Amino acid sequence: MMYSWKKILREIPVNLALIAMVCACLFPLYWSLVSSLKGRAELFETKPTLIVRHPTLENYKMVLSLTGGSQIPLFLWNSLKIGLGAVAVQFVVASMAGYAFARMKFRGRDLIFYLMVLMMFFPRVGGLMATYELMDFLNLRNTHIGLILLFPSSVSLSLLIMRQSFLGVPRELEESAMIDGANTWQIFTRIAIPMTQSALVVISILMFLATWGDFLMTYTLLDDLNLFTVSIAITQITGWSMIYNSTLATTYGSDNAAFILAILPVILVYILSQKWFVRGFQEGIIKL
């Protein structure tokens, strides 16, 4: 990287502007992190400071030690359950259909595929209301199963990615397996699926992030506080209406600890997934 330092120096004004952008992007997160690590005395000094002098995990301990209903650990668990459930459903549905659309020949295949992809651009007038009615009719409103089925049902993008990926699997591999007597299901599970790892990881990450962060659908479909995901619960229990039975003064730190806990999985998944997205681009799976 030595060669580039001179060039970087020449790019100082550009980099200064971009550093300002980085600060603006990260400031809310930083402020929350700092506040969550401050003890009570430090939190309520008249001049708020940008650094923590005496970091403490007290706030996190408090938030995580509250067990039972309507508490952060339960909400985190709910989010995880729905996220992993949706990822699992999508894994099965998108890999099977993607494989069929890429490799099997049957009547109307391409027509069906194109209709599904085009639906991505179809406006959803009253979709929220209609989904609410549908979920109520199916007795899936106020259940986690309902959300686990609802999120992966927008299959357009995942089908597009999976089909593209299966098309990239060398045909010879499948043919030689067939000569060895493997049936379609065996070829699909033993050869095709392992060969499309990065696409499966990419669609799983996208699904997990979308599920974890969803507000409107989840908020509309769930009424029972004990079923809430962390993303919607956080708007109900922190800030001004608190469950900790205390004044604003003592919840500032724990609120922030709750925020950080709510975004930590997302940040981790996002950072760790970078290499999969790069690989996805390289393999030509993701066409942007």
Partner 1 sequence: MTLPNQDQTLFSDVRRAFREVKREKPGNRLGYLFIAPAILLFLVFQGYPILRGLLMAFSDYRWLVPETQGLFDLNGLDNYRALLQDKTFFRAFGITLRYTLVYLPSLLALSLGTALLIARVRSPRLSGFYRVVAYIPVVLPISVSMMMWRQIYNQEYGFLNYFLKTVLQIQNPPGWLSDPAWAMPAVLIPDLWLGFGYFTLLFLIGLYNIDSTLYEAASLDGANGRQQLWWITLPLLKPIITLVLITTGGLASAVVPVLTLFRVPAGPEQAMLTLGVYGFQTAFSIGDMRMGYAASMGLVTGLFSMAFSALVFKLLRSERS
Segment 241 to 280, residues that bind partner 1, using CB under 8 A: 252, 255-256, 259, 262-263, 266-267, 270-271, 274
170 binding partner 1? (CB under 8 A): no
48 binding partner 1? (CB under 8 A): yes
By beta-carbon proximity to partner 1, the closer residue of 48 and 55 is 48
- Binding mask of the shown chain, residues 187 to 226, with x at each position contacting partner 1 by CB under 8 A: ----------------------x--xxxxx--xx------
Q: How far is CA 144 from CA 91, 141, 149, in A?
A: 18, 8, 9
Q: Are 213 and 231 in contact (CB under 8 A)?
A: yes
Residue type, 163: R
At its nearest, how many Å lie between partner 1 and the CB of residue 204? 14
Q: Are 162 and 99 in contact (CB under 8 A)?
A: yes
Q: Are 121 and 183 in contact (CB under 8 A)?
A: no
Segment 65 to 104, residues that bind partner 1, using CB under 8 A: 89, 92-94, 96-97, 99-104
Segment contacting partner 1 by CB under 8 A, of 51-59, 62-70, 147-155, 193-201: 147-155
By beta-carbon proximity to partner 1, the closer residue of 60 and 99 is 99
In sequence order, what are the residues at sequence separation of 6 or more whose Cβ sits closer than 8 angstroms to the Cβ of residue 144?
A: 78, 81, 82, 85, 227
In sequence order, what are the residues at sequence separation of 6 or more whose Cβ sits closer than 8 angstroms to the Cβ of residue 12?
A: none
Q: Are 113 and 107 in contact (CB under 8 A)?
A: no
128 binding partner 1? (CB under 8 A): yes
Which class for 37: exposed (0-12), middle (13-18), buried (19 or more C-beta within 10 A)? buried
The binder of partner 1 chosen from 62, 157, 195, 242 (CB under 8 A): 157
At its nearest, how many Å lie between partner 1 and the CB of residue 106? 4
Segment 27 to 46, residues that bind partner 1, using CB under 8 A: 27-29, 31-32, 35
